[in-house]
Amino acid sequence: MQKVFKDTRRNDSAVRDVYGLTEDIMMENAAAALEREIRKRYKAAENPDSFTVLIITGAGNNGADGMALARRLAGSDEMQPAVAAVFAPESSGCRHQKELAEKAGVLFLSGNGMFDKVLRECTCIIDCLFGSGFHGTLDKESAAVIAKCNTAKAYRIACDIPSGIDRNGSIESIDQANGDKLAFRADVTVTMGALKTALYGDDAKDYTGNIVCADLGISRKNFEQVPVSDADDVSVYLLEKKDMMLPVRKTQAVNKGSFGHVAILMGQKKGASIIAGNAAFAFGAGLVTIVKPVSSRENTFCSDDVCTAIPPELMQSSDFPGNTTAIAIGMGLGDPATDEVQQAVHACETWMQLHPAVSCVIDADMFRYQNTGSLLDTLVHSGTNGMRNIVLTPHPKEFQSLLNICGFGEYTVREITCRRIELAAEFIRKFPGVVLLLKGSNTLVAYTDKTAAQKDLAVDIDDCGCPSLAKGGSGDVLAGLICALLAQGYSARNAAVTGTLAHSIASQRMPAGFGMTPEILTGYIRTLA
């Protein structure tokens, strides 16, 4: 895992105080990091003799980094920089770096005609316009410059954070030419000092490109650990592949009972439970049973046609097996207001209260169930030692409903997208015994971190997901994976982390993303190592 910060300005200030680094030294290191990325591109260029660099600068210290970069490149035999200053320098650092760049002979563009000509011919564009201080929407001039940069054929590098992305990772500006969100669309983002949450918002994913973290004069570890006042009350981490703990079987003297028994409640949309069951079986569960409750009036949950469609390795029952170790409920459940669904949920709740060691995944239609809040309280406190492993797996629209049902108020899906970490943390404060997996382009896992010295709220970010997952049934696969891990004895947090990473990393193996199906995704899960 890698630490992620909402705001590193306090770290910047503390580094200057503790290590005696001046602002100029930190700018020099930032410019050097940008230069390294440019030179990597230069070495890979097909025609290095015509390699030119266009640096877009603003009025603050992000612009100062760009001015320092231009000065470093000026007079080089390999490339010549040009600077397009969208705004006149305002910060003392930016004014100072511009003076030095002018002394070094840097070309400063004047007029749209000159800018357009250089833009057409340049090989590499560097965005040093706003960086991490941006909020709101782009002004007309900045929007026009960024829109032009995005359509250029040049390679694009962003300094710290692509301009137009705010600290929540949201983009509020719109490109009038095509209706898309408007921010600098980078091939590489060189972020300074430490990773920022702004880089991992759902909006940001299409704009950051490859993210590189640069040192500013001290190691990244020291930068992250420098003492700061008023630190954030939520610890945020970026997950890595090495955080995925696959259910590898190392012990020889075992049997199917050694790997848990998953029970999946079948609802009105019966295929969802079958998909989840297949995924659970593929991810190491020793036994999987599809539970098909029978209505008091008629068998509305299962027909002979559906029952025969269930793979033979998945058992079928009208009740939860006594040796069940984890339950999945909600996928394809149906309208929670109907008698059949309410009877099924009540039966599941009653059974779980009598079996305090059983873990649970709650998904999909359960987030429309009006008693989900009280159900969570009941399940958590009926667990062994007053605690039970419970993982919730909503997507933003389902989380919207869940927040409303649990008394947090009404939020739009857009508000949830823009405030994901904040709202996920608020939810965990109210339900500290559960793990919330909030799905998205970058999936969040929010939980109470009992190992933290000072902070007990933590959020993990999984940024490995692909557009191939935007298919019906992908969420059912994820629920099945997590339930399988819970059944095998994983903690709720470890099951959520390993489940989402396995789900995301497997999706990367699909050659044509549009062709993904739940069966194919589950097949790739089997190949993980």
* Contact between residue 331 and residue 273 where contact means Cβ atoms under 8 Å apart: yes
Find the mean pLDDT for residues 42-51. Answer: 80
Whole-angstrom distance, CA of residue 472 vs CA of residue 384: 35
For 431-526, where are the alpha helices, taking DSSP H only? 474-487, 492-507, 518-525
Of 126-135, 150-159, 229-238, 303-312, which range is least confident?
A: 303-312
Residues 6+ apart with CB under 8 A from 135: 166, 167
pLDDT of residue 299: 46
H, E, C per residue of 347-410: HHHHHHHCCCCCEEEECHHHHHCCCHHHHHHHHHHCCHHHCCCEEECCCHHHHHHHHHHCCCCC
pLDDT at 112: 78
Q: pTM of the prediction?
A: 0.92
**pLDDT greater than 80 at residue 293:** no
Cα-based distances in Å from 18 to 14, 205, 217: 6, 34, 12
473 close to 516: Cβ distance less than 8 angstroms = no
Handedness of CA 76, 52, 54, 107 (dihedral sign): positive
Q: How far apart are CA 423 and CA 420, in angstroms?
A: 5
| Strand duo 457-462 + 443-448: pairing | antiparallel
* Contact by Cβ (8 Å): 240, 218: no
- Residue 455 banded pLDDT, cuts 50, 70, 90: low
Q: Label the pairing between strands 210-214 and 155-159.
A: unpaired
Amino acid at 226: V
Contact 466, 508 (CB under 8 A): yes
Of 307, 312, 308, 309, which is closest to residue 291 (Cα–Cα)?
A: 307
Spatial neighbors of 17 by CB under 8 A, at least 6 apart, are none
User: How many helices (H) does the chain have, and how many strands (E)?
Assistant: 17, 19
The span from the CA of 365 to the CA of 210, in Å, is 36
Instruction: Grade residue 298 by pLDDT with cuts at 50, 70 and 90.
Output: very low
pLDDT tens across 351-364, in order? 999 999 999 999 99
CA 228 vs CA 60, 162, 218, 223: distances in Å? 23, 25, 16, 10
Going by the DSSP 8-state scheme, the letter that residue 55 receives in this structure is E
pLDDT mean over 262-271: 93
Q: How many CA atoms lie within 13 A of 419 on its CB side?
A: 14
What percent of the chain is predicted at pLDDT more than 90? 75
Mean pLDDT value across residues 30-56: 89
Q: Does the fold of domain 258-525 match that of domain 2-231?
A: no
Cβ(29)–Cβ(214) under 8 Å? yes
Encoded amino acid at 343, one letter: Q
pLDDT for 110 = 83
Going from N- to C-terminal start, the domains of the chain cover 2-231, 258-525
Task: Find all residues with CB under 8 Å of 525, minimum gap 6, and list them.
Answer: 279, 282, 283, 477, 481, 502, 503, 506
Q: Is the pLDDT of residue 296 over 50?
A: no
Look at the chain and count its residues. 529
> Which CATH number is associated with domain 2-231?
3.40.50.10260
User: Residues with Cβ < 8 Å from 44, sequence gap 6 or more?
Assistant: none
Give mean pLDDT, residues 189-204.
95
Q: Hey, what CATH topology would domain 258-525 get?
A: UDP-N-acetylmuramoyl-L-alanine:D-glutamate ligase (3.40.1190)
Distance of CA 237 to the CA centre of its chain: 10
pLDDT, the chain, mean: 91
Residue 236 pairs in a beta bridge with 4, 459
Q: Which residues contact 12 (CB under 8 A, 6 or more apart)?
A: 26, 193, 216
What's at 344, amino acid-wise? A
Q: How far apart are CA 12 and CA 3, in angstroms?
A: 16
Residue 300 has pLDDT above 70, yes or no: no
What is the 3 state secondary structure string of 106-129? Answer: CEECCCHHHHHHHHHHCCEEEEEC
**Range with lowest mean pLDDT among 325-334, 337-346, 376-385:** 376-385
129, 63 contact by CB (below 8 A) = yes
Cα–Cα distances (Å) from 223 to 12, 146, 159, 265, 328, in that order, read 8, 31, 18, 48, 42
Residue 272 has pLDDT above 60, yes or no: yes
Structure tokens at 405: 């049902």
pLDDT at 297 (0 to 100): 44
Question: What is the rounded distance in angstroms from the CA atom of residue 115 to the CA atom of residue 108?
Answer: 10
